[in-house]
Amino acid sequence: MRPDPPVLDLSNVTKVYGEGETAVRALRGVSLRVERGDYVAIMGASGSGKSTLMNIVGCLDVPTGGTYHLDGTDVGGLDERRLAIVRNRKIGFVFQSFNLIPRMSALANVELPLAYGGVRAAERRRRALAALDRVGLAERVHHQPNELSGGQQQRVAVARALVTAPTLLLADEPTGALDSKSSEDVMNIFDRLSASGRTLVVITHEEEVAAHAKRIVRLVDGRIVEDVRVAPAGGPPPRLAEVAS
Amino acid sequence: MNGVEVLRFALRGLAANKMRSALTMLGILIGVAAVILLVAIGEGSSQQIQQNIQRLGANSLTITPSTSGGGGGPGGFARAAGGGGGRDGGQAGRQNTGPRVQARDLTVDDARALADPANAPSVKSVSPVVTAQAQSAAYEGASHSISQLVGTYPSYFEASNKPVAKGSYFYNDDVLAARKVVVIGQTVAENLFGAVDPLGKQITVSGVPFTVVGVLKETGSSGFQDADDVAIAPLPAVQQSLTGFGPLGQILVQAKSAEAVDAAQAEVTEVLDQRHGITGSASADYRILNQATLQETVSAATGTFTVLLGAVAAISLLVGGIGITNIMLVTVTERTREIGIRKAIGAPKGAILGQFLAEATMLSLVGGLLGVLIAVAGAQFTIAGVRPVIVPTSIALALGVSVVIGLFFGSYPANRAAGLRPIEALRFE
Ligand SMILES: Nc1ncnc2c1ncn2[C@@H]1O[C@H](COP(=O)(O)OP(=O)(O)OP(=O)(O)O)[C@@H](O)[C@H]1O
Ligand SMILES: [Mg+2]
């Protein structure tokens, strides 16, 4: 029996923005495999291509060259309709700027991916409430984004990303706009998700945040220059392991 | 993601910008209401005109003397004295178009000749008519100026479509004996008698006593002229006492059937041409008004009128539609980020397309329905002297068009929204 395919398998991915004189080579051949259950932090200087990489991994953008397999399927060969399904079922995306839909309650925001996924209303509500409970916002479900603090908004965004039980949870500087207390809250949620076997890829500037990951990848000028494993992919994340010991 | 869900999203989108949604709807509302109301006014005035023509009588031909044909006949002064059929001022405006022929007036002898079945087999009845206008009538202190006093034969009642509501017509005997009996219209009855039963009472018309034998059925006011302000009496009685034995104001001919009207017209023309000595290119000194032809002509004209009104209104509907496109474009631009977020969490293209199309359609449908309500309410009032008559197809059409407009004008912005790549939409500022 063949082993599980890696959740993420990038090979020699390149991305060029624009063309001619002004062309920017944001990614210059990135190859990366992420196994199921791993917790990867991607670090690098500003402009090194982290967000570009993340957008490709999240199927929000298409690479200029190279191939990308998500959970065994070649994403490059999918049409728009299938891509929407992949985004909906396999990927949960957390943005630096939260990206909640204004004038919709936290609950409605979290229900939205389920609605697009065709889940029935009652089931949707139950799962959305459970996800909000997991991020500690059971009390705030009927508040609209503008009635929540930044940290709370980001936790709603995390709830929205994990409510569909995606194969892969992506976060682009999830703590970039948060203070240290709120950052702690979010990172604790990520630790627990990782401990429960979820696959996470997190972009960050902060060593403190990267210290939660089991593996740290460093990008410089669109290339991977360092790939360090801190803890085994199958085990608990390092911070939780510390607490346990 | 079902239909109800898409509608809910659309509704939420519209509610987020109530003022804007309301103003956009107003554009469609005005367009739809204008189409329905203007078509209703066109239809109403058309029906009113048709009714007025029908009042002339079924299958009837009206012959009047024509001033444009012939030359100085002897009838002018007599007509001026008798107020012959409202054709005053004819003397001054007389023009000659054909060779000069002695123009002859219409006479009772003309009428007799037309009534001869040998000459005119398609003619059912012939009624010579003299008219005296603005005759002052009085009954026991009450007085009233009758706008039209008609002197004629009994066949006039049927030919001119004037049934009697109370009492009876007068008969041929009354005509032969020149009895001073009269059938009066509703307006006259009300003004002279009020609640009193007019039958058998004697009224004086310009000092001459007439006995009322009947009251005409009410016909309703026909625009500028009150068709009920009339009195009808035997021809010789009116000639004796009021107009003198001059020429006739008109001759009313009734054809045997609707199909026989054209044949009757040909026969009448032949008889009159012969009697009046009209030959070849000479233009006739009389004119025949054919009710059926008149009706066709007028209905064609009013039809054009209604279409024109509708077209003007349709333009305002189009403008309303452009308003929808405009607002939807603004909405899409404004909400590009939101579209990006929705796509990033896996919204299929159809759901985005559906949401914006539903928003546009809802704008136009709600605006359209309100427009129908307002048009129906507005049609209850008389507008510019016309009672609008709502044409049901105009409602269906205006509503249908407004929904199509929503779909059509909404589809461009909606397509643009749905076609955006998620990352482009997310980066949009
Ligand atoms: N849409 C775009 N068009 C053109 N160039 C772009 C675009 N997006 C990114 N770039 C360029 O690609 C390079 C990588 O950008 P990217 O956003 O991936 O950096 P990053 O590592 O996420 O930086 P940061 O830490 O500041 O977020 C940069 O030089 C940037 O200028
Ligand atoms: Mg970035």
C-beta A18 within 6 A of ligand 1:
yes
**Centre of ligand 1 from the C-alpha of residue A70, in Å:** 23
Q: What is the pTM of this model?
A: 0.67
Residue A126 is predicted with a pLDDT of: 95
Which H or E run includes B165?
strand B164-167
pLDDT at B222: 55
Verify whether the Cβ–Cβ distance B422 to A89 is below 8 Å: no
For the cut 50, the answer to whether the pLDDT of residue A87 exceeds it is yes
> Distance (Å, rounded) from C-alpha A119 to C-alpha A125?
10
Q: What is the DSSP string of A24-36?
A: EEEEEEEEEEE-T
**Residues B23-66 pLDDT 10s:** 888 988 988 898 888 888 888 888 888 777 776 666 788 888 87
Ligand 1 contacts CB of residue A15 (under 6 A): no
How remote is the CA of residue A172 from the centroid of ligand 2, in Å? 7
Q: Is the CB of A54 under 6 A from ligand 1?
A: no
Ligand closest to A218 (CA) is 1
Confidence of residue B100 (pLDDT cuts 50, 70, 90): very low
Q: Taking CB atoms and an 8 Å cut-off, how many pairs form between chains A and B?
A: 65
Q: Is pLDDT at A132 greater than 90 in this prediction?
A: yes
- Which residues on adjacent β-strands are paired with residue B183? B214, B232
pLDDT higher at A155 or B405? A155
How much is the average pLDDT of B383-387? 77
What distances in angstroms separate CA B343 from CA A60, A116, A174, B332, one per listed residue? 8, 10, 19, 14
- Residue-wise pLDDT for B160-182, tens only, equals 778 888 888 888 888 787 788 88
Element (H, E) at B290: strand B286-290
Q: Give me ligand 1 centre to Cα B364, in Å.
A: 43
CB-based contact A115 B1, cutoff 8 Å: yes
Q: Is the pLDDT of residue A42 over 80?
A: yes
The string of DSSP codes covering A73-100 is EEGGG--HHHHHHHHHHTEEEE-TT--P
Residue whose CB lies within 8 A of the most ligand 1 atoms, among A15, A43, A50, A172, for a mutation test: A50
Answer for the pair B375, B36: CB distance below 8 angstroms, yes or no: yes
CA nearest ligand 1 atom 28, residue? A47
Pairing of strands B202-205, B208-216: antiparallel
Residue of A nearest to B13 (CA): A103
- Residue B347, chain A, CB below 8 Å: the answer is yes
CB-based contact A50:A172 (threshold 8 Å): yes
Residue with CA nearest ligand 1 atom 29: A47
Answer whether A146 contacts ligand 1 (Cβ < 6 A).
Answer: no
Tell me how close the Cα of A62 comes to any Cα of chain B, in angstroms: 9
What mean pLDDT comes out for the span B129-149? Answer: 82
Smallest CA–CA distance, residue A236 to chain B, in Å, is 28
Q: Which of A55, A99, A117 sits opposite B346 (nearest CB)?
A: A117
d(CA B215, CA B312): 46
Judge whether A144 is closer than 8 Å to chain B, CB to CB.
Answer: no
Q: Is B345 on the interface with A (CB under 8 A)?
A: yes
Q: What is the pLDDT of residue B71?
A: 42
pLDDT of residue A50: 94
Of the given ranges (A26-30, B281-285, B379-383), which has the lowest mean pLDDT? B281-285
Of B110, B102, B349, B376, nearest in space to A88 by CA: B349
Min distance B326 CA to chain A CA atoms (Å): 23
CA distance B10 to chain A (A): 13
The dihedral formed by the CA atoms of A227, A230, A233 and A236, expressed in degrees to the nearest 10: -150
Highest mean pLDDT among A185-199, B238-252, B392-406: A185-199
- What is the B416 CA–ligand 1 centroid distance (Å)? 25
Grade residue B101 by pLDDT with cuts at 50, 70 and 90.
low
Residue A115 and residue B345: Cβ atoms within 8 Å? no
Asked if pLDDT for residue B80 goes beyond 80, the answer is no
Q: Which of A64, A51, A60 is nearest to A13 (CA)?
A: A64
> Which chain A residue lies closest to B5 (C-alpha atoms)?
A115
